Amino acid sequence: MEEEQLYTVSVYTENNIGILNRLSAIFLKRHVNIESMTVSKSEIENVHRFTFVVNLSEVRIAKIIGQLEKQIEVIGAYYHTEDETIYNETALFKISTEHLYDEKLQKKFKFRRAHILTITERYFVIEASGSKENIDKMYERLKPYGLLQFVRSGRIAITRPKMAISEILEEIN
């Protein structure tokens, strides 16, 4: 059995209805869980970028890339290891205002990439960003204070190696 690891999958697509379904169906067909996903526009006009994070062996992720690339509206698909990727995730924590002046709590996020986004009479919201591990740690530390709400974004990632989408588009056209 090949060793599994986290891969960041970047998929450049047309911005059409239904592509998300088409891409996620490829993971579904192979019984692969998607750890996180984000969609946004990309550096190229009218081209969207999906970022999936999956835990798989390289053999399997390479085959999935083949299937992703095969989709008509996919321009290019790539996979990268953690070392090849600069990535970030953002999380929001909603906590009761009664804990706002708790020094212990303040210490827990002081030195991390976190700050208070808003304060109301009843609650305040902390925004934090970093790796999944950092945010998980913060989650564990803040949990005892009673999280009114918690949400974390999918990974956004920039890859160290080049992804030659513009070249592909020029070549076909």
Partner 1 sequence: MKTLNMEAKQKETAKTVKISGAEAVIRCLLEENADLAFGYPGGAIMPVYDEIYKYHDKFHHVLTRHEQGAAHAAQGFARVTGKPGIVFATSGPGATNLVTGIADAQIDSTPLVCITGQVASHLLGSDAFQETDIIGISTPVTKWNYQVTKASEIPAVMAKAFYIAKSGRPGPVLIDITKDAQFGELDYSYEKCEKVRSYRAVPKMNAEKIQEAATIINNAKKPFIVWGQGVIIGEAEQEFKNFIEKTDIPSASTALGLSALETKHPLNVGMVGMHGNYAPNVLTNECDVLIAIGMRFDDRVTGNLNTYAKQAKVIHFDIDPAEIDKNVKTDVAVLGNVKQTLVEVMKLVDKADHKSWMSEFDKLYQIEVDKVINDQLNPTKEGLTMGEVLGGINKVSNGDAVVVSDVGQHQMFACRYADFIKSRSSVTSGGLGTMGFALPAAIGAKIGVPEREVVAIIGDGGYQMTCNELGTILQTKAAVKIVVLNNSYLGMVRQWQELFFDKRYASTEMISPDFVKLAGAYDIEATRVSKREDLEDAIKTMMASKEAFFLEVVIEQEDNVFPMIPTGATVSDIRLS
Residues that bind partner 1 (CB under 8 A): 13-14, 17-18, 21-22, 25, 28-29, 44-46, 62-63, 66-67, 69-70, 72-75, 166, 169-170, 172-173
Q: Give the tokens for residue 114.
A: 């976190």
| Cβ count within 10 A of residue 85 | 20
Nearer to partner 1, 63 or 113 (CB): 63
Distance CA 77, CA 163 (A): 9
CB of 57 to partner 1, least distance (A): 14
Residue closer to partner 1, measured from CB, 63 or 94: 63
Contact 89, 129 (CB under 8 A): yes
Please tell me the distance from the alpha carbon of residue 51 to that of residue 7, in angstroms, as a whole number.
10
Specify the 3-state DSSP secondary structure of 24: helix
3-state secondary structure of 72: coil
For partner 1, which is the closer residue by CB, 45 or 83?
45
Q: Which is nearer to partner 1, 28 or 119 (CB)?
A: 28
CB of 106 to partner 1, least distance (A): 47
